[in-house]
Amino acid sequence: MSARLQVFILSALLAVLGIGLTIYKSTTLGFPFFPGEYRTIWTVEARVSFKANGEPVRVSLALPREQANTAILEESFSGTGYGFQQETVKGQKRAVWTRRDAQGSQSLFYKLAVYHTDNAEAEELLALLPSVQKPDFSSAQQEAERLASESLLAQAHELSADTETFARQLLGLLNDPANPDATILLGAYEGRSRVNLLVDMLALADIAAHPVRGIFLEHNRRQLQPQELLEAYIDGRWVMMDPTTGVLGIPENFFIWQRGGVSLVDVTGGSQSDVSFSVIANNVSARTVALQQGKMETVALLDFSIYSLPIEQQSVFKLILLVPMGALMVILFRVFVGIRTSGTFMPVLLALAFLQTQLVTGVIIFLLVLAVGLGIRSYLSRLNLLLVARIAAVVIVVVIIMATISVVSYKLHIEQALTVVFFPMIILAWTIERMSILWEEDGAREACIQIAGSLLVAIAAYFMMTNDYIEHWSFNFPELMLVVLAVVLLLGQYSGYRLSELIRFRDIQETMR
């Protein structure tokens, strides 16, 4: 296999691997491919409070079901002095706090963070068999209620065409304050919710229904009481309905806590139990969300990613990960443009220094150090020193220049110049040495060309590295480095002309005589 073919195959493999991993991370693990994507994270806290009366306490709170349109990022439970476990009763997850004895007012907390996923429908079919439990109005005292309900059902039946319209009509009749039957029934259900009444009425018409409890996710709400919606089994599926307006479907931002007839909270060994909710919204970058999500699922890929490093090392890596892009820039400039630089990858190091110092400050400091260093180097050259000693001397001089710049600028309150420490000293010293030789050997012009070339490439690399997208991709998708590697390998095959050669040989036709 020829070397050329090998390069193509290798590049293709690397590119496919890199792009594949990237696609996997952005689609499956939810890493945002573009920078600046934010998700709203709702932190919901349920607080169960009650008065304990000195007996063994058992508190059981219904936990929210998994929903298609929201994902749970993390959940936590707290209750000092309480034992805790989770159990599932009739398909409903419940948190159970227990304690041998407790006295006075108690508070237990359940906290969860959720966010909306955009890829699923808001409504999820509930896999719950419809069952009807008719209310008992048979006793003599409930004669009025029985007649009122029969009349109401008859009216609704009259005004409707099918099950769905029947339910809505019933709801409308109950909400009509002028309807005497509704008034009677509402009076009878004093202390219970309207949804309970609706459930019973629908049961009389052989329609299965149950209340749905949930909360509206709105920013900075405290002491929220759970809202009740009605879910009725209509034409073979469960339909949600607002008990006051009759609007079908789940209202926007409604976070369903519990479906079906089971209780929200059961407390034994206590009284005056109450559940209240508070909601806080946070805008968090989608990456963090993906990360936390990933942590919960412990994806192997994330385990080996940069995110497994401590935060401090991560920021170091942020810089290192930009080096490949800088190197790519150098290759582009040298192979396609033909720009001469002093030292092959010196511009990358220079660009890294610029990242820390900001561009203008960096360029000024670089030129300043270079100019002063060249001046001093030209004196040193007269002292008849060994090369290594001379470079060491230049290094020391560079350090002194840097220290001077720092101190003087600090006194002058130019804080930016303090970033001079980020310049790689040894590189600067070598650059000074090489430039001074170049100056003597090839003249000032060649030296200036190379300095300008290095600066140009460094500045180009700087802009590349500070680009939001490049920064985002290089840090969040380090596997894209494989693609860069593939590109570099391919560029290494380029045997065409350089831009500089198109200029250099532009008069070739005139020399052909």
Partner 1 sequence: MAWLIAPWKLARHGILGMNGRNINYIARYNSRSRYPLVDNKLLTKKAATKAGITVPKLLASTDSPVGINQLMKAIEPLQEFVLKPVRGSGGKGIIVIERRDGPLFVKASGNTMTADDIRRHVSDILSGLYSLGGKPDAVMVEERVHFDPMLFDYSYEGVPDLRIIVFRGFPVMAMLRCATHSSGGRANLHQGAIGVGIDIRTGASINAVQKGSLIDRHPDTGHDFSQLKIPNWDTMLDLASRCYEVTGLGYLGCDIVLDQRYGPMILELNARPGLTIQVTNGTGILPRLRHVETLLKEDEDACDWGAHRRVMYAKEHFGRPDAAQAV
Joined tokens for residue 236: 């073979």
Q: Which is nearer to partner 1, 287 or 390 (CB)?
A: 390
Q: Which of 89, 442, 444, 468 binds partner 1 (CB under 8 A)?
A: 442
Binding of partner 1 by 2 (CB under 8 A): no
Write each residue from 330 to 359 as x if it is in contact with partner 1 (CB under 8 A), else as -, in one continuous string.
-----x--x---------------------
Please state whether beta strands 209-216 and 254-259 pair in parallel, antiparallel, or not at all (unpaired): antiparallel
Residue with the two structure tokens 């396609």: 336
Instruction: Please list the residues that pair with 103 across neighbouring strands.
Output: 53
Q: Tell the smallest beta-carbon distance from residue 490 to partner 1 (Å).
A: 12
Q: Tell the smallest beta-carbon distance from residue 342 to partner 1 (Å).
A: 13
Q: Tell the smallest beta-carbon distance from residue 371 to partner 1 (Å).
A: 21
Q: Tell the smallest beta-carbon distance from residue 508 to partner 1 (Å).
A: 6
Q: Tell the smallest beta-carbon distance from residue 468 to partner 1 (Å).
A: 32
Binding of partner 1 by 437 (CB under 8 A): yes
Rg of the Cα atoms in the chain: 37
Stretch 359-418 residues interacting with partner 1 (CB under 8 A): 384, 386-388
- The stretch among 105-113, 125-133, 167-175, 502-510 that binds partner 1 (CB under 8 A) is 502-510
**DSSP character for 140?**
G
- The stretch among 97-105, 240-248, 309-317, 437-445 that binds partner 1 (CB under 8 A) is 437-445
Q: Which is nearer to partner 1, 410 or 505 (CB)?
A: 505
Instruction: Please list the residues that pair with 274 across neighbouring strands.
Output: 49
Q: Tell the smallest beta-carbon distance from residue 465 to partner 1 (Å).
A: 25
Q: What sign has the CA pseudo-torsion 182, 187, 189, 192?
A: positive
Q: Which is nearer to partner 1, 34 or 497 (CB)?
A: 497
Joined tokens for residue 193: 């919710």
Q: Which is nearer to partner 1, 91 or 443 (CB)?
A: 443
Binding of partner 1 by 441 (CB under 8 A): yes
What are the Cα distances from residue 229, in Å, to 70, 135, 267? 18, 19, 23
Q: Tell the smallest beta-carbon distance from residue 432 to partner 1 (Å).
A: 13
The SS3 of residue 433 is: helix
Q: Tell the smallest beta-carbon distance from residue 498 to partner 1 (Å).
A: 6
Q: How far is CA 359 from the centre of its chain?
A: 30
Which residue type sits at 450? Q
Q: Which is nearer to partner 1, 178 or 383 (CB)?
A: 383
Q: Which is nearer to partner 1, 408 or 452 (CB)?
A: 452
CA atoms of 11 and 487, how far apart (whole Å): 7
Q: Which is nearer to partner 1, 381 or 416 (CB)?
A: 381
Q: Which of 74, 164, 266, 446 binds partner 1 (CB under 8 A)?
A: 446
Residues 6+ apart with CB under 8 A from 265: 48, 59, 60, 61, 62, 273, 275
Q: Tell the smallest beta-carbon distance from residue 489 to partner 1 (Å).
A: 13
**Do residues 223 and 195 touch, judged by C-beta distance below 8 A?**
no
108's enclosing H/E stretch is: strand 103-116
What per-residue string of b and e applies to 20-39 under the rule 16 or more CB within 10 Å gives b? ebbeebbeebbbbbebeeeb
The SS3 of residue 87 is: strand
Q: Which of 80, 139, 223, 509 binds partner 1 (CB under 8 A)?
A: 509
Q: What sign has the CA pseudo-torsion 450, 455, 457, 458?
A: positive
CA atoms of 394 and 167, how far apart (whole Å): 90
Binding of partner 1 by 139 (CB under 8 A): no
Stretch 458-487 residues interacting with partner 1 (CB under 8 A): none
Please state whether beta strands 57-62 and 209-216 pair in parallel, antiparallel, or not at all (unpaired): unpaired
Residues that contact partner 1, how many (by CB under 8 A) = 31
Q: Tell the smallest beta-carbon distance from residue 353 to partner 1 (Å).
A: 22
Stretch 482-501 residues interacting with partner 1 (CB under 8 A): 493-499, 501
Binding of partner 1 by 218 (CB under 8 A): no
What are the Cα distances from residue 11, in Å, to 19, 179, 483? 12, 78, 8
Q: Tell the smallest beta-carbon distance from residue 502 to partner 1 (Å).
A: 4
- The stretch among 99-107, 136-144, 177-185, 441-449 that binds partner 1 (CB under 8 A) is 441-449
Residues 6+ apart with CB under 8 A from 472: 34, 35
User: Applying CB under 8 A, which residues contact partner 1?
Assistant: 335, 338, 384, 386-388, 437, 441-443, 446, 493-499, 501-513
